Amino acid sequence: MTVLFLPEVEEYLYELIEILYHKEYFGFKESAIIYVTDLKNDIKTNLANKVKRPAPRFFNKYGKKMLY
């Protein structure tokens, strides 16, 4: 499975680096960069392996046996 990030998501992740650093979740900007990079890599490699649950009945109008 290939995971692609929309440009808006890429932009948000770069903003997340700034937020994490300026709100002092990380003392060094490099640490925030590493955290977000690891987050992206985790999404790319492990998203297909995450536990899937049946979607609520409300979403049956979009398709049968949907998972989230």
For the stretch 12-62, pLDDT in tens is: 999 999 999 999 999 999 999 999 999 999 999 998 788 788 999 888 888
- 40: burial class by Cβ within 10 Å (0-12, 13-18, 19+)? middle
Using a cut of 0.85, tell me whether the model's pTM lies above it. Answer: no
Give the domain ranges of the chain: 7-62
